[in-house]
Amino acid sequence: MATRRDFLKGCLAGGAAAAAAVVPEAACARDTLERPAEALGLLYDATLCVGCQACVAACKRANHNPAEFTTVDHLWDAPLDTSGHTFNLIKMYRHGTMETKDAEENGFAFMKTSCMHCADPSCVSACPVSAMRKDPETGIVGYDPDACIGCRYCVAACPFGIPKYQYDSPTGQIGKCELCRHRHQDGHYSACAEVCPTGATLFGRTDDLLAEAKRRLALKPGEWTTMPRGRLPAKNEKPEDAAKWKGIVDQSYQAQVGNYQQHVYGETEYGGTQVLKLSAVNFQKAGLPDLPPKSSAATSETIQHTLYGGLMMPIAVLAGLTWVAKRNVVPEDDDKKGGQP
């Protein structure tokens, strides 16, 4: 029969694992990761965007994506959101009469939707097979379809709703912006920035882009200033580094400073992103989530590593359970005898 002592021993072993789930985070805390020093990214300035969608078309071409028809006549590519076949889209904020550009009241504004290339991406943490990887140098979050099992945990994990699965195919892949990393070796940077006529989408090192964004925030709205287009050269860029990229280096022009929200979206969100955004309209109204500076990947991995780091906890609990089970499990006799140990 069970004695009280045995029962308590059982409680001890069995309860250990349950208690493990509430061990304070401090033990194996995993801090929010930071961007690599040479991180590449984009700066999107909504006040410069004219909504021409040239970047959407260029993205489709660069990534060999098919058109997505949403109108009855099936004449042109008209995706309503990013998808497994559309990695970049300009969305629109609309209010009231939509008279004024970049006004929250009775106005409209544009917002680019594409991968933010997070410093600490949820998709990379979520992926069980490392099909989503963050390049240690460029920080580009890349996808490898040959590794992917199609579980779509990355789709569920991303707070920007970016990785998307191709449900229309029996061999569907995940589709997302990879900053045109496949074109870099030929000297091409992100197609969206390459074609942007107003410099609303700018390609460069995130550090330089952040400095450029802060320069704009410091200027007076309405003032004229020089706006770069295409690729933003690095600060003190060496000629041999500049030669790596194709295209005219200086495409800058004079434009008026927008009436910005005093915040660079992506500077701190989820530990920072490599794609940064400026907007005159409130970022949440323009369609970007309000995110804390701590990444969910850090919270999730802290829990996982606290419980399973080095398999310490499971092995300790297993040892306890084995010890208790060894005492309590009695080999069964032939069923005919039954009833007696």
Partner 1 sequence: MSAHHPAAPVGGKLLNTATLVSGLLVAAMLAILFVRFIFGLGAVTNLNDGYPWGIWVVFDVVIGSAFACGGFSVAMLVYIFNRGEYHPLVRPALLASLFGYTLAGVGVIFDLGRWWNFWHIFWPGHANPNSVMFEVALCISAYILVMWIEFSPVFLEKWGLKAEKKKLERVLFFFIALGTLLPMMHQSSLGTLLVVMGPQVNPLWQTPVVPLLYLLSAIAIGYGVVLFETCVASSAYRRQIEMHLLQPMARVMLGVLAVFVVVRFGDMIARGALGHAFAFSLEALFFWLETICFLLPFALAGRAADRRNPARLFLAGVALMLAGVLLRVNGFLIGYDTGVGVDHGWNYFPSIAEMLVTMGMFAIEVLGYIVITRRFPVLPRAEASAAH
What 3-state class would DSSP assign to 193? helix
Nearer to partner 1, 179 or 291 (CB): 291
> Among 53, 57, 83, 188, which residue sits at the site for partner 1 (rule: CB under 8 A)?
83
CB of 8 to partner 1, least distance (A): 9
CB of 93 to partner 1, least distance (A): 11
DSSP E strand boundaries for 83-177: 89-94, 100-101, 107-113, 132-134, 141-143, 164-165, 174-175
| 142 near partner 1, rule: CB under 8 A | no
Contact set for partner 1, span 164-223 (CB under 8 A): 164-173
Nearer to partner 1, 93 or 203 (CB): 93
Nearer to partner 1, 153 or 188 (CB): 153
CB of 64 to partner 1, least distance (A): 19
- Give the DSSP H/E element, type plus range, for residue 326: helix 312-328
What pairing do the DSSP bridges indicate for beta strands 275-278 and 40-45? Answer: parallel
| 287 near partner 1, rule: CB under 8 A | yes
Contact set for partner 1, span 87-126 (CB under 8 A): 122, 125-126
| 66 near partner 1, rule: CB under 8 A | no
CB of 140 to partner 1, least distance (A): 18
Contact set for partner 1, span 12-31 (CB under 8 A): 13-14, 17-18, 21-22, 25
For residue 275, what are its two tokens?
């794609």
Q: Are 234 and 210 in contact (CB under 8 A)?
A: no
Question: Which positions from 302 to 341 touch partner 1 by CB under 8 A, shown as an x/- string?
Answer: -xxx-xx-----x--xx--xx-xxxxxxxxxxxxx-xxxx
Question: How far apart are the two ends of the chain, measured CA to CA in Å?
Answer: 11
| 81 near partner 1, rule: CB under 8 A | yes
| 301 near partner 1, rule: CB under 8 A | yes
| CB atoms near residue 240 (< 10 Å) | 7
Phi-psi region of 106 (alpha: psi -120 to 50; beta: other; left: phi over 0): left
Q: Count Cβ neighbours within 10 Å for each residue of 32-61 and write b for 16 or more, e otherwise.
A: bbebbeebbbbbbbbbbbeeebbbbbbbbe
- The stretch near partner 1 (CB under 8 A) out of 59-67, 81-89, 214-222, 227-235 is 81-89
